[in-house]
Structures are given as C-alpha cells and as structure tokens.
Amino acid sequence: MDTILLVEDDRDIAQMISTSLGRAGYRVIVMPDAEHAHAFLKDGAVSAILLDLMLPGMDGFAFIRKLKKNPALSAIPVIITSAKDDDTDVVAGLELGAEDYIVKPFSLKVLEARLRAVLRRSDASYINEGTSRRVQKSGILLDSARHEVRCQDIPVDLSATEFAILEVLLKNPGMVFSRDRMISEIRGGDVAVTERSIDVHILSIRRKLGEKGSLIETVRGVGYRFRDE
C-alpha cells in the first residue's frame, strides 16, 4: 500500500482528500504545516507528497527547496495542490522540482489520476519488460531499470517527469514531439496536463545536461526533438 503525505492546513479539505484517497486504497498521513511534515519524513517513508503552498510558517515553496536539498528525501515526488493559479506560481513550483501542479478547486478523480501517474513514473517497475532498459546517445546514458542518467559519465539528477521526457526523446532521435503528444507519451491520454509544464521541464533538463542540453531542440510552432550527434 502506498503511503501519501498530505500537507494541508484546511481541515475540511484535508478530510475530503484523505477520505477519497483512503477509499482508493492509499494510506494517508495528514500534516497541518511544513515543519511537522518535514519532521515526519525524518522517520516515516512515503510514496508521494501532496502539498499546499499557503501554509502557516514555512510555505510550500520553502518546503520543496528543503526537501530537494536532502539526498535521502529528494526523490520523493511532490504534487502541489494550491488555490494559487498564477503562471509564475505554477512555473516556480515545477522548476523547484514538483512533479505536478493542481489548482484548487479540483476534482478528486483528477487528483487520483494524477497521483497514480506520478507513482507509476517513479516506480522502476513501470518500465515495460519488452522495451530496452538502456539507451545511449551523444554521451548521454539513460538506464530505465536503475532510473539513472549519466551525461559524459557524470550523474545527472532528474525528477521522475524529467526522466520520462528525456527517455521519450532519446529513444526517438530526430522525431518531433508536440507538447500534446509528449504529455500522452509520459502520462497517458486520460490525465489533463497543461502544456506549459512540458516547457518548464524541458528547460530544466537542458540546464542539467549542460552543454549537451542543446541537443534537445525546439522546433518552432511544433514541439521538441533530440538531435543525435
């Protein structure tokens, strides 16, 4: 059973989400603020975190920064659930390493679908047995079984979503993927995702790959492709 950490200070919202996810088969731990949530993570293992941004004390952005700086916790996927719907907040959350951003109010069914998608991507067993587990192009090595990426033999720390995007591009060099198609490839067509999240993740992947990041090309008006040297 997957354990989900819900960081939410609104008791009614926390109860609603907790009850819904509990019925869906998840174990939900509710924390009212970021400080208590981080303290819990020192001893308790979770599969994913649902995080509000507007929290008493430490806000959600600061929580993510602290989480990602800790090697023991940085791989835990985070889904932001917030009433803040400004583009700058969405982009900031994704750039900090959140896997997804859901604006309140939201459908509980949509929340469950996105949570399932995030958990599926973060699980190495999600990779189909019939697909190649390793792909190497232009000095970039991606190992699906180990969920590892190395660029010119230097480890690259990617989020689960970034890993999935890079995997699609590396396995299809020269092929152009529109944002809609990329979303379908990495999350499945049943999950609603905004196209801007793809742009943010692409920028982050390029930055982390250093000089090799330029191999991920923007095809103006269409989408993205990987140029094999």
Domain spans, the chain: 3-122, 128-226
- H or E segment to which residue 182 belongs: helix 179-187
Class for domain 128-226, per CATH? mainly alpha
The pTM of this model reads 0.65
Dist CA 51 CA 23 (whole Å):
20
Cβ burial, residue 219 (10 Å; 0-12/13-18/19+): exposed
DSSP result, 65-130: HHHHH-TTTTTS-EEEEES---HHHHHHHHHTT-SEEEESS--HHHHHHHHHHHHHHH-GGGS-TT
| pLDDT confidence band for 188 (50 / 70 / 90) | low
Dist CA 153 CA 142 (whole Å):
11
Query: How does pLDDT run across 58-115, given as a tens digit for each residue?
Result: 999 999 999 988 878 888 899 999 999 888 898 889 888 898 899 998 899 989 988 9
Average pLDDT of every residue of the chain:
86
Class for domain 3-122, per CATH? alpha beta
